[in-house]
A and B are shown apart, each in its own frame.
Chain A
Amino acid sequence: MKTKSLFLGAIVFACFNSISYASKLSGINPDISLTLDGRYGSYSNAGDYELPGFMLGSEASRGEKGFYLGHNELSISANIDDMFYGKFTTAITEHEAKTEVELEEAYIETPALGYGVTVKAGRFYSDVGYLNNQHGHAWDFADAPLIYRGLFANQLLDDGLQVSWLAPTDIYFKLGIESTRGERFPAGGAANDGRGANAVFAEFGGDVGVSHAWQLGFSHWRADVVGRTAGAHAHGTTSEIPTFTGDSRISGIDFVWKWAPNGNKHERNLKIQAEYFVRDENGRVDMAGSSPLETSTYEGEQSGWYLQTVYQFKPRWRIGYRYDRLRADNTGSDPSVLTEASLDDKDHTPERSTLMLDYSHSEYSRIRMQYARDKSYTDSDNLFFLQYIVTLGAHSAHRF
């Protein structure tokens, strides 16, 4: 009854509405959207999280136990004028009972430059890999793949410049380069006068018939790292901080395949996604704060991949499975220093199997259950998450 009178009211209103010949229909400017993310986590192992063979950044963890908040984000974006688009995203998180504000994105972009060229400047998620440029709340699982956790502390985010070019071809082909400050993990020190990291990426994509679509990406990232510190590590009562200085290179390949009957994803759809990264590092590891200074040469190779598939078997309901696997092979002049820096792989192959089930009441709300058999560290564990992710405000548009 209420909707009916609303509808009648709408018609009456429409009859008196004389501004319908507007040249452009648009929502409010700017687009403001708020993402709320709350979780409940359960696992057995106590103590600090480690990924044997990987020096972890401070954000790389398996989450908290019990009730806690995830990334609650406020995002504001809009066309600035006919040349520039701008986006600002800030996340407010709680860390050890302290509220922290993180600046996640603050960039401008030029969708109006032409010739397929787009320039982006500011702080942005790198286009390295497939998952990296998507917000965590758009991921299909509650946490990042292990290789993202191990290499990027979940996501590669930096300040700088990106130039990309989209080819004028029927097949999707995009080339891009990034030059960034290189101060944030996994770089460090903002080398080369604040141009410490560089990346190139290439993306291909297309359709196969009306029901299938795919994308394939290659990326390479390189940084001159000066004093990258690993976070979240306590070694007894000492405050020795593992610090890496040297050359770091990451190469990656990513692949996504999506299927929906007749291309109509609303009812049922399937997504298969896989990424592989390998990192080569060459330099020196110091235990900052030790006296006399403990130091070692360090030559490392870390790699890993994941394969995941998510199936929406009916509207609102999705089920997913992900398998992660990592490998590390690090050597140096003083193995005891590498061990202290968590660079010893302890003859352990980190791996994890994750199952996910989520329910989206509308496009704006999602409730997720996730279980993982986690063998990423030497003590195997069972991880359980319950999560809600909701969006208020502007309609979210998700990348392929």
Chain B
Amino acid sequence: METALETDQLGKRYGNTWALRDCSLHLPAGRIAALVGPNGAGKSTLLHMAVGLLRPDAGTVRVFGETPYDNTAALAEIGFVAQDTPLYRDFTAGELVTMGGKLNRRWDGTLARTRLAQLGIPPDKPVGKLSGGQRAQVALALALAKRPRLLLLDEPVASLDPLARREFLQALMGSVAESGTTVLLSSHLLADLERVCDYLIVLHGARVRLVGPVEDLVAEHRQLVGPRHGDDPIPGVASVVRASHTDRQSTLLVRTDGPIGDTSWAAHEVTLEDVILGYLADGDRPTSNEAWGVPA
């Protein structure tokens, strides 16, 4: 299968801090992928490297086999909607579509106009005066008019109200289903992602924690409840993602590689949200009692 986005040992450093480190992943073409992680996990950094805004400090990133940094040929294949859907606020939607036509060799202005017309967005009003949801739709229309093979969206719905969020995601899904565009969408709104995405990338603490098709991931993970558990291996369990213990009982989120052999464990199916939260939960969060001057 063709790979839309591929990274190998990718890293980006700001000063002494790695914003993203040892990031290796494949995104097969045709997928709708969710990029999940808490703020500061490196989601935007990864997307910016994928769209060629940033140059990697380590490793490589390839989009359909091409390095995107400083490469307009690769750029033509990528549609990008940046965080907060930035647009020239004094431009009208019509002017923005014209601008796209001037700046891109491949440009489907009709597609953009048709979309915006269907959404009832006025063509001659400065986009700064539109609602947040309408602005996001304009930004999406501009990205789609490039007829990209890979569409990257950085928190596109974060600042929208629930209704606008739903409309945006519907518009997105409707249009990429027709064209077979690969989508990588970063967000921390898990419920939205569960509805639209079929592939998952979890970033946490500048590293990739989990990659794979949603179906497989959900099928592979189980919640086990059983007697207090030490460190002994459990048959059928590849790794323990997260464990919580009471005096007599342990609850584990595990990734399986076969049927659970030990009958003392009760296995429960999990939702995508459980899986994601399991990988994001941070066991050893550093405390800052000293800095606050309060007793621990």
Q: Do A and B bind each other?
A: no
